[in-house]
């Protein structure tokens, strides 16, 4: 979907293969490799596996980026759920935030709500720290699928 620096090692998990355990897996990987590790995840996947943060061995150079669109946005994107009268059950909208989990589990927390703020926060986010860090990026639930579809269409042109 975008160019990537080829010095980075990337590992992915598809939702179709189960959203459970993504955070646990990332923490295990961070512990094993010892290198800086960044875990990028959706809100539902993250909250589903929040118990993964209950762990005394999370390296301080571990970073989490939660893309919080307030739901399982995939179900707005794929055909089917939107045309049914059961979108809510697929999408499971919510107003949860990672802030209090971070307080409980000793992660440095920050949030961003727009692109400028994200650009400002990221250099700070990657700086060395005593504790691991999480940044929560809030995006609008009902616009998310439209923006992603427009992005894909743009790539095709």
Q: Applying CB under 6 A, which residues contact ligand TPP?
A: 15, 18-20, 42-45, 69, 72-74
The residue written with tokens 């999370």 in the block is 58
Which C-beta is closer to ligand TPP: that of 43 or that of 136? 43
Nearer to ligand TPP, 108 or 145 (CB): 145
Is residue 41 within 8 A of residue 72, CB to CB? The reply is no
Residue whose CB is nearest to ligand TPP in the complex, by number: 42
Please, which residue, 73 or 132, has the CB nearer to ligand TPP? 73
Q: How many Å apart are CA 62 and CA 128, to the nearest integer?
A: 10
CA 108 to each of CA 65, 126, 127, 132: distance values in angstroms, whole numbers, following the listed order = 12, 12, 12, 6
Q: How far is the CB of 56 from ligand TPP (least distance, A)?
A: 26
CB 69 to ligand TPP: min, Å: 5
- Residue in this structure with the two tokens 């571990």, named with its chain if needed: 62
Q: How far is the CB of 123 from ligand TPP (least distance, A)?
A: 25
Two tokens, residue 10: 């990337």
d(CA 25, CA 16): 16
Show Cβ contacts of residue 18 under 8 Å, excluding neighbours closer than 6 positions.
none
Tell me how far, at minimum, the Cβ of 148 lies from ligand TPP, in Å: 9
Least spacing, CB of residue 129 vs ligand TPP, in Å: 25
CB atoms inside a 10 Å sphere around CB 39: 21
Nearer to ligand TPP, 77 or 131 (CB): 77
Determine the distance from the C-alpha atom of residue 94 to the mean position of all C-alpha atoms in its chain, rounded to a whole number: 15
State which residue, 61 or 87, has the beta carbon closest to ligand TPP. Answer: 87
């Amino acid at each position: 979907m975008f160019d990537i620096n080829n010095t980075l090692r990337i590992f992915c998990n598809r939702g179709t293969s189960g959203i459970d355990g993504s955070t646990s897996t990332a923490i295990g990987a961070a512990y094993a490799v010892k290198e800086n590790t960044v875990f990028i995840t959706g809100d539902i996947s993250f909250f589903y596996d929040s118990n993964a943060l209950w762990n005394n061995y999370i390296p301080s150079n571990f970073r989490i980026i939660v893309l919080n669109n307030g739901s399982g946005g995939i179900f707005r994107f794929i055909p089917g759920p939107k045309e049914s009268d059961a979108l809510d059950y697929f999408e499971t909208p919510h107003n949860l935030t990672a802030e209090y989990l971070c307080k409980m589990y000793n992660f440095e927390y920050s949030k961003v709500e727009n692109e400028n703020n994200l650009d400002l926060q990221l250099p700070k986010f990657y700086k060395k720290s005593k504790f691991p860090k999480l940044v929560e990026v809030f995006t609008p639930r009902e616009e998310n699928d439209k923006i992603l579809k427009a992005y894909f269409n743009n790539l095709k042109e």
